[in-house]
Amino acid sequence: MSGQKLRFGIIGAGRIGRVHAETLAFRLPETEIAAIGDVSVEAAQAVAARCNIPKVAATAEEILGDPSIDAVLICSPTATHSELIVKAAEAGKHIFCEKPIAFSLEKIDVALAAVQQAGVQLQIGFNRRFDSNFARVRQAVVNGEVGVPRLLHIISRDPAPPPIAYIRSSGGIFLDMTIHDFDMARFLMGDEVEEIYTAAGVMIDPAIGEARDLDTALIVLRFRSGAIGTIDNSRQAAYGYDQRAEILGSKGKIATENRFPNEAIVSTGKSIYTDLPLNFFMDRYTESFALELKAFTEAVLAGKPTPVTGIDGRIPVVMALAARKSYDEHRPVLLREVSA
């Protein structure tokens, strides 16, 4: 470890790469950024200039080969994640990787094996665990404020569907969108899902169906404890980003509302109204992106396990595959049917 600061290399200078770079540069004094690289040199240079990063790397290998670097942030496209994890592990770097690890369990298992063999740490970018609302729900369960969980509801709706080109390479709604909710379900309940049933459809844009994807889904989860729950996904909510959770337990319930740009309420002769909620994930989850990096940094510096491990990255992919299989076969599907 290079002294007291954790030294990072960043692979990928797109939207999320830039957000993470800013967090490291401006909010985490216990870190420093050694280099950033991207297939777009301009993108990498822009982030480097903004965040005072001394070096723009031409390739990922250049970053992985830099012995002064302790940890890498993998913010490149999903298709590259598993291979980069393997290489980074082999180079002895600790790894923070955006979700999902890969679309296939084979690739994930290869990556996780490499991480285990190298003995490095891996954290997956399930940032919502660090959102103050979802963290409060988890806290209520852990504290026993609501007793033993019985019923879970997760509402997760985007303001508008992404471009069809994105949809085509996204891995489908379950791997692209619901995967966050699958992680939330495990995290909030502190329990594992055994079986999934999916009801879904194409209700927003027929082009999504033509791309063999779905845009609206209800996913029923059965947990080991016997608890049951639903995830509600829509690629379009006219009023903006809608991210809520509710747990009913033996002693009560906890439910979260959305976060708004202000708390003003206007009353006129026609209605009582407020502005719309924070519009999309960059606004709603700003703070959680910083907190997940802080947690990663602290875990690595302390030599302790990260709060979102490789297996936490694998299971939601299994759930996504089961959700799709359930939809395709029109029946409840056990997770062990997908991954023995």
Of residues 225-244, those binding a copy of itself (CB under 8 A): 226-230, 232, 234, 236-239, 242
Of residues 6-45, those binding a copy of itself (CB under 8 A): 25-27, 29
| Strand-strand pairing, 122-124 and 149-157 | unpaired
Nearest distance from residue 205's CB to a copy of itself, in Å? 11
Query: Out of 142, 264, 302, 340, which residue is the one contacting a copy of itself (CB under 8 A)?
Result: 264
Distances in Å between the Cα of 249 and the Cα atoms of 1, 104, 179, 194, 336 are: 44, 35, 24, 19, 27
Between CA 200 and CA 234 the distance in angstroms is 10
Q: Choose the stretch contacting a copy of itself; rule: CB under 8 A; options: 69-77, 193-201, 290-298, 313-321.
A: 193-201
Q: Does 4 bind a copy of itself (CB under 8 A)?
A: no
Between CA 208 and CA 48 the distance in angstroms is 37
Between CA 285 and CA 196 the distance in angstroms is 27
Between CA 129 and CA 316 the distance in angstroms is 14
Q: Which residues pair with 276 in a beta bridge?
A: none
Q: Does 207 bind a copy of itself (CB under 8 A)?
A: no
Nearest distance from residue 211's CB to a copy of itself, in Å? 18
Nearest distance from residue 140's CB to a copy of itself, in Å? 6
Binding mask 141-160 for a copy of itself (x = CB under 8 A): ----xxxx-xx-x---x---
Q: DSSP letters of 28-45? A: -TTEEEEEEE-SSHHHHH
Between CA 111 and CA 323 the distance in angstroms is 23
Q: Choose the stretch contacting a copy of itself; rule: CB under 8 A; options: 106-114, 163-171, 215-223, 305-313.
A: 215-223
Instruction: Give the interface size with a copy of itself as a residue count (CB under 8 A).
Output: 72
User: In this structure, what token pair is assigned to residue 248?
Assistant: 């009913």
Query: Out of 41, 46, 105, 135, which residue is the one contacting a copy of itself (CB under 8 A)?
Result: 135
Amino acid, res. 193: V
Amino acid, res. 64: L
Q: Which is nearer to a copy of itself, 150 or 294 (CB)?
A: 150
Query: Out of 92, 210, 250, 280, which residue is the one contacting a copy of itself (CB under 8 A)?
Result: 250
Contacts of 99 (CB under 8 A, 6+ apart): 124, 125, 126, 179, 180, 183, 313, 316
Of residues 35-94, those binding a copy of itself (CB under 8 A): 50
Q: Choose the stretch contacting a copy of itself; rule: CB under 8 A; options: 32-40, 89-97, 101-109, 261-269.
A: 261-269
